[in-house]
Amino acid sequence: MTEGNLENGRFAVSTWSLHRLLGAVYPYNPDPDKSATCKEPYGPGRSALTDIPGQLADRGIGRLEICSFHLPSLEPSYLAEMRAALQDAGILLQTLLVEDGDPSHRETAERDIQWIAGWIEIAQALGAKNMRVIAGKQPPTAENLKRAAGHLGWLAKQAHNSSVRIVTENWFDLLASAKETNWLLDTLQGKVGLNGDLGNWAAPAKYAGLSDILRRAELCHAKADFNGSGLDSADYRKCLEACRTAGYSGPYTLIYDSSFFADEWDGILHEKAFVEDFHQEKQRAVG
């Protein structure tokens, strides 16, 4: 599998894949009535977030994505500590994933987009290249799509003079298919990029939809489904084929969200090997 000119290689890992290893979550939310107090839905964990860059380097993976709820503090001193850990391990922070907010909501969109904009400074302090935001959780009506587009366009302006690129994802109800995703991206005229996700839409319709939108993607969450027998290789292969058909050449962020492997790193590396084997097979076929 060739990596082209991608800095730090073609593979990333999201902290979403390391829930059990990290343990604690901090559910930051735009609703002032909701608490961001530490919760442990996956137990206490065995690793600090600042340890993850070194663990990535040990496994030959050069990129990381951080979920906002995995940041134990938003204080400048902690953000500097996390950035130093990334730099010391030689890891590129590909994306800060802002995990809440709804720019499509009739009543709370204005509040939410202001809250989301506050994460730009945090992303910049961490050294993130991108910040992934939710386009919307409301049904894909013309009104809701237009509202989301307006707010995301405003958000992109707030990030314009920073080093952070705003991207969104084919996720939640607003972007239920390629039709809505393409409309939003067309309307934003390149001001907001696309982080494609292989696991957010349902089969079998998702394969054609992914082939359509991934031609526009700058990033890709390469999530595999697992069942009682292990990785669903037929589904994952079709998703990767959609990437190939679309001409996608960006990084793959390995998303492992299963209990099939007790050690989450084993699941992540299993996905990585599958993606590498797929591309090697395709290269041999044309070689």
Domains of the chain: 11-286 (3.20.20.150)
The distance of Cα 212 from the centroid of its chain, to the nearest Å, equals: 19
72: preceding bond cis by omega (within 30 degrees):
no
DSSP 8-state symbol, 92: E
State if pTM tops 0.85: yes
Give the Cα separation of 98 and 126 in Å (integer): 13
Structure confidence by residue, pLDDT tens digits, 168-218: 999 999 999 999 999 999 999 999 999 999 999 999 999 999 999 999 999
Strand partners, 63: 12, 92
Strand partners, 222: 254
Q: Do the bridges between strand 165-169 and strand 226-227 make them parallel or antiparallel, or are there none, so unpaired?
A: unpaired
Structure confidence by residue, pLDDT tens digits, 41-77: 999 999 999 999 999 999 999 999 999 999 999 999 9
Give the Cα separation of 152 and 146 in Å (integer): 10
Give the Cα separation of 152 and 147 in Å (integer): 9
Percent of the chain at pLDDT exceeding 90: 97
- State yes or no: pLDDT of 3 exceeds 70: no
8 A C-beta contact, residue 124 and residue 163: yes
Give the Cα separation of 105 and 174 in Å (integer): 10
* pLDDT averaged over every residue in the chain: 97
- State yes or no: pLDDT of 2 exceeds 80: no
8 A C-beta contact, residue 169 and residue 97: no
